[in-house]
Each structure stands twice: as structure tokens, then as C-alpha cells.
Chain A
Amino acid sequence: MRRFRSLVRSATLEALAEPLSAVLFLVALIAVPLLPAFHCHQFGEAGRLPRECGFSALLVFGIVFATASAVRVIGGELSSGTAAAALARDVSRPLFFCAKVIGVLVAFALFSVAVGLSTVASVATAEMGEVQERLGYAHVWLPGLVSMVVLTLAGFALAAVLNRFFRMRFCVTACLSVSGAQVIALALVAAGAKVPMQWSLLPALAALAAGCGVFVVLAGALAVRLPPAAVTTGISLAALSSFVWPVRAILPDIQMFWLVDSFSYGGAPAVGQLASAFAVGALLSAFWLAVGSILLERREIP
């Protein structure tokens, strides 16, 4: 168990320590509240754009962040030799592979939670919105929008301060503090908004995260044998086009995890839909974890 924990922790740290991760966290968490606010058209429903924006941010930024991390952690360890130093110890290869991938999934879960909270806050902000003539007729509730954006930026600034005065790792702290900022922003929005919060978005976003998780594990498994650039590009393209033949024939169809449409006009996804998305996600992740473990078991580590 100690071995497992050490491996998971180091993989999570490595995923978050990469500068690209901090940038993706920041961009995604700014994009979720800001992008929908500046559209004049509401598509007949104020919450629709922020909802779609949240799901898209999780899918696009999440897949790029997590597959790149998985490839870097697994492929990087194998090519840089740190895997050899670990596997020369009393650590079995399946444990090494699974723990490292799970470590990346933990980092991805942090990202998903942050985007999820931000999406709930952003939907409430949009529903409170009114037309602002000064802002090009944008449909905005300024107090909510400003607190979300400012708190996210403040989280980033806090990381800089902690790095300056306490030498804490900037990128890791930034990912954590911008995520923490979402909790405060959501609390502020929930306190100030006079509309019901759509908590049911969270399980639907979690289902999407489960779908993305499959691609993360798949990326890790492929990185055992293939060069990093090829895996990152291939997986990102495959995930984003997983509903297109022939990809849909061999990989999980992201549409199965994409439950945003069921929220139209006050609806919510059925429990069965959610449950089957989680079940398929877990099953496929377990399958690719096993494949990756077997690939690593058979690989030579020069």
C-alpha cells in the first residue's frame, strides 16, 4: 500500500508540476464563465451556453491535459530511466503502471471538479444575467462573473506569492489554488444568485470525466510501447472524433458520456444513463489498465 501511495503521489505531482498543466487549468477556468457571457444570443435558454461551455472545456482541455500527463509520466519514466530505478526495487510492474496512471487520474479528477464547480456557478450567473448595453449587449450578471474571474486570477497570484515567500512549486500550487478558488466563487454565487443552483450538472460532468478517464488510461497503455508525440496526438484526435466511424467501432464513443443535451429546458439525465456511463467508463478503464500492465510486464527497460 505504501508503494502504491508513493507512486500515485509522485505521478500526481508530476502531472501538476508541468507548466502546461497550470496554463490549461487557468485557461479552462477563465473560459467557462467568460466565453458564454459575451454572446448576445441565448438560444432560448440562459443556462445553455455556459453548460455546453463547461462540458466542452472539460472534454477539450481535460483530454489534452490528462493524456499529455499520462504520456509524460509513463513514457517519460521509461525513457528517462526513473522507471528502471523504481522497477529494480521490490515493485511489481502492474503496480507501477496502475499506480502511475491512477496518479494522473487524480490530477485529472482535480481538474474535473474545478471545471464542474465553475460550470454550476457559471450557469447560475447566466440565469441571473441581464442585458448590459455598455458591454455590447452582453447578457451578464456582473457580480457573479467578476467574482469568478477575479477569484481564479487571485488563485494564480496566490501561487506566485507562495512560491516567492515559501518556495512552494509554482505550477502545482497554481493548479490547486485556482481549483480552490472555484469553491469560494461557487459559494459566493450561490449566496448571491436568486435562482436555484443546478447541482445535477455535477454527476453529468463526472460521467464525462469518466469517459475521458478511459482515454487517459489508454494513453498510458500506449505510451508503454509508442513514442510520446504519436500517442498524445493520436489519442487527442481519437477522443475528439470518437463518434466518427471507424474510431467509434474500436474506442468508447464519447457521445455516451456526453449527457449535456438532456439538460435542455429544465431536464436532467436519467439515473440509468448516468449509471451506464460510469459502468462503461470503469470497465473500459480497467481493461486498458490490464493491457498497459501486460505491455509493461513484457517490455524491456534499457
Chain B
Amino acid sequence: MSNVPAIEIKGLRKTFRDFWLRPVAEAVRGIDLTVEKGDVFGLLGPNGSGKSTTIKLLLGLLAPSAGTVRLFGMPPRTRAARSRLGYLPELSYLHPFLTARETLLYYAGLSGMGGKAAKARCAELLEQVGLSAVANRAVGGFSKGMARRVALAAALVAKPELLVLDEPTSGLDPIGTRDVKDLIRSLARDGVTVLMTSHLLGDTEDVCTKIAILSKGQVAAFGRTDELLTRKQDARFTIAGLDEEQAKAFAAEASARFGREVQFDHPRVPLEEFFAETVGEGR
């Protein structure tokens, strides 16, 4: 049982049809993917490449035109499979008349949780996504990023083993984005399997252990992030406290020693880091 993959997709196809059953869009054209337990899997691709459609197919919300999907070895429409899963939709669909706390309690109820345990879990999640202060406001009046945080907390409410996140960072501020990345990493450390899509390649690169790139409904590239991105034949050094003159001298020495061209530059902090330092942790 333990080596059953979290997600197994074979020969998956999906053609959307209109009222008269004429094909409208061939969104997915034969995808094979396996997400092992413990992976943080990034699904990348341009707009309309079929990422969200693939996710809805694997949640059983859409029916495949061909191919099979297995969640923990089970068809996605079985309740046992879905009880182990948390889903963050592409857009934060929330009931506008419920408050943030009520929204989480509603989703806790839908996962079969109730009473004090559910209340404590919701309070903990509100704290975690930074919404404790506005927990009693109706989510209809929330900003896009606040709604995103509520939806993310709703996906986490039942402590899922498999988390499916469709563009988790869309609409979030840079610190929110970093919090989400930290959250994903810490969940992964606890053994949660994550499947996420994102258009922010940098973020995907930071957190995903494996990626697949979809193009026109097909897998164009698939593999471990390290293996796909690392150029093992090259090496890069960072030496702290070296000024321009010393660096030039070192480059010349190294060039003479290995008989290769040696380039150097001065490292820049990522804007994300600079932003976080500038605005502090507060919002």
C-alpha cells in the first residue's frame, strides 16, 4: 500500500463539447503523470495549456474523455480518495455572506469535523494565514489576496495528505507569497504531497521537487527540478569579501589553471528578500 503513488494519470484526454456535443476545445491530449507520495509537484504551462482542466479531472469534477486517473490507487470519485485531499481552486470561490471563521467552519463540517476540535483548527488556520483580526468579517468584502488566504486555509482545514493547489500565490503580496512557499515546504516536511500550478516560475523552482511542463494539453517536459535545471558540467563560486581587483586576479588565476574562460559577477539579493526587509514582516 505504501508505494502506491499519490496521483497516477495514464493516457488522460479531455475534449470539451458544447450543447450539441460538437468539440469546442481539446484541453488535454494524452497526459501521463505520476506524483509519488511526498513530492512537491509543479505543473507549469502557458495559459490554456490544460493545467486547471487536468486538476479538475483528477478531482473527479470533470469526466475524462479517455484515460484513467487514480488517487492513492483509487478512482477520484470514491469518497475514500477524496477524504485525503485538499483542493484550492484557481479562483477563491467563497460564500460572500459567511465570515472568514464561518467559511472555515463550513468546510470543516464538510470534512466531517465539528465541535471544539473544528473551532480550534479554524482559529489556528486563521492565525497561520494572518486573518485572525478580520475573522468575523464577511468574506464578500475581502480583497483578492485576503480571499485567497481564506480559500487556502479552507483547503488545509482537514489536514489533507494530498494538497492540490491551482495557482496558490495568485493575488498574494510578496510576503504572502513567501509565507505560502514556506507553508508548502513545511507541509512537505510533514509528509504532505503537494501538486501545484503557478505562473511564477521562480516560486515553482523554489519549492517544487518535481515539475512537468504542459504545452497544448501535452507533457512537454517532466522530471526532478534539480536534474532538469542543474548544469552539472558547469560550476559557480561565491566568495564573500572579495573586491573587484581580487576577483579579477582570482579569475585570471583560475583561467590559467583550468585553461577555461572564467566569468564573475557580484551577487544581487532577490527582490523578494529586499522587499521583505524593507516593509518588515507587518502588513
Q: Footprint of B on A, CB under 8 Å?
A: 2-3, 5-7, 9-10, 13-14, 17, 80-82, 84-92, 167, 169, 300-302
Q: Which residue of A lies closest to B118 (CB)?
A: A2
A89 touches B110 (CB 8 A): yes
Q: A10-B106, A81-B91, A89-B107 are in contact. Are A300 and B97 (CB under 8 A)?
A: no
A-B contact pairs, 9 of them (CB 8 A): A6-B109, A9-B106, A17-B97, A82-B94, A86-B107, A86-B110, A88-B59, A90-B82, A302-B56
Q: Which of B124-181 contact A (CB under 8 A)?
A: 136, 151, 154, 158, 164
* 5 A-B pairs with the lowest CB-CB distances in the bound complex, closest first: A6-B109, A81-B93, A90-B83, A88-B87, A17-B97
Question: Does B111 reach chain A (CB closer than 8 Å)?
Answer: yes
Question: Does B85 reach chain A (CB closer than 8 Å)?
Answer: yes
Cross-chain contact of B61 among A90, A91, A301 (Cβ < 8 A) = A301
A90 touches B112 (CB 8 A): yes
A84 touches B109 (CB 8 A): no
- By the criterion of a CB under 8 Å from any partner CB, how many residues of chain B are at the interface? 34
A85 touches B93 (CB 8 A): yes
Q: How far is the CA of A13 from the CA of B108 in the complex (A)?
A: 17
A84 touches B56 (CB 8 A): yes
Which residues of the partner chain B approach A85 to less than 8 Å between Cβ atoms? 87, 89, 93, 107, 151, 154
Which residues of the partner chain A approach B106 to less than 8 Å between Cβ atoms? 6, 9-10
Q: Which residue of A lies closest to B87 (CB)?
A: A88
Which residues of the partner chain B approach A80 to less than 8 Å between Cβ atoms? 93
Cross-chain contact of A10 among B79, B80, B98 (Cβ < 8 A) = B98
Which residues of the partner chain B approach A169 to less than 8 Å between Cβ atoms? 97
A89 touches B93 (CB 8 A): no
A2 touches B113 (CB 8 A): yes
Cross-chain contact of B63 among A2, A91, A300 (Cβ < 8 A) = A300
* Smallest beta-carbon distance A5→chain B, Å: 7
B89 touches A89 (CB 8 A): no
A300 touches B87 (CB 8 A): no
Q: How far is the CA of A26 from the CA of B209 in the complex (A)?
A: 59
Question: Does B62 reach chain A (CB closer than 8 Å)?
Answer: yes
A89 touches B113 (CB 8 A): no
* Smallest beta-carbon distance B71→chain A, Å: 11
Instruction: Taking A6-B109, A300-B62 as given, write out 7 further A-B residue pairs in contact, using a Cβ cutoff of 8 Å, ordered by the A residue number.
Output: A6-B110, A17-B97, A84-B56, A86-B110, A91-B79, A301-B61, A302-B62
Which residues of the partner chain B approach A9 to less than 8 Å between Cβ atoms? 106, 109
A300 touches B79 (CB 8 A): no
Proximity bits, B77-104, A CB within 8 Å = 1, else 0: 0011011010101010111011000000
Cross-chain contact of A89 among B82, B105, B114 (Cβ < 8 A) = B82
Which residues of the partner chain A approach B109 to less than 8 Å between Cβ atoms? 2-3, 5-7, 9
* Smallest beta-carbon distance A188→chain B, Å: 33
Q: How far is the CA of A227 from the CA of B114 in the complex (A)?
A: 34
Which residues of the partner chain B approach A91 to less than 8 Å between Cβ atoms? 79, 110
Which residues of the partner chain B approach A81 to less than 8 Å between Cβ atoms? 89, 91, 93
A89 touches B56 (CB 8 A): no
Q: A7-B110, A90-B83, A302-B56 are in contact. Are A82 and B93 (CB under 8 A)?
A: yes
* Smallest beta-carbon distance B197→chain A, Å: 15
Q: How far is the CA of A91 from the CA of B151 in the complex (A)?
A: 18
A90 touches B91 (CB 8 A): no
Which residues of the partner chain A approach B89 to less than 8 Å between Cβ atoms? 81, 84-85, 88
* Smallest beta-carbon distance A293→chain B, Å: 14
Q: How far is the CA of A5 from the CA of B83 in the complex (A)?
A: 18
* Smallest beta-carbon distance A1→chain B, Å: 9
Q: How far is the CA of A5 from the CA of B108 in the complex (A)?
A: 12
Which residues of the partner chain A approach B97 to less than 8 Å between Cβ atoms? 13-14, 17, 169
Q: How far is the CA of A206 from the CA of B273 in the complex (A)?
A: 66
* Smallest beta-carbon distance B140→chain A, Å: 10
Which residues of the partner chain A approach B91 to less than 8 Å between Cβ atoms? 81
Q: A81-B89, A85-B89, A88-B85 are in contact. Are A2 and B112 (CB under 8 A)?
A: yes
* Smallest beta-carbon distance A81→chain B, Å: 3
Which residues of the partner chain A approach B62 to less than 8 Å between Cβ atoms? 300-302
* Smallest beta-carbon distance A170→chain B, Å: 11
Proximity bits, B230-251, A CB within 8 Å = 1, else 0: 0000000000000000000000
* Smallest beta-carbon distance B26→chain A, Å: 15
* Smallest beta-carbon distance B54→chain A, Å: 13
Q: A81-B91, A82-B95 are in contact. Are A3 and B56 (CB under 8 A)?
A: no
Q: How far is the CA of A84 from the CA of B90 in the complex (A)?
A: 11
Q: Which of B49-74 contact A (CB under 8 A)?
A: 56, 59-63
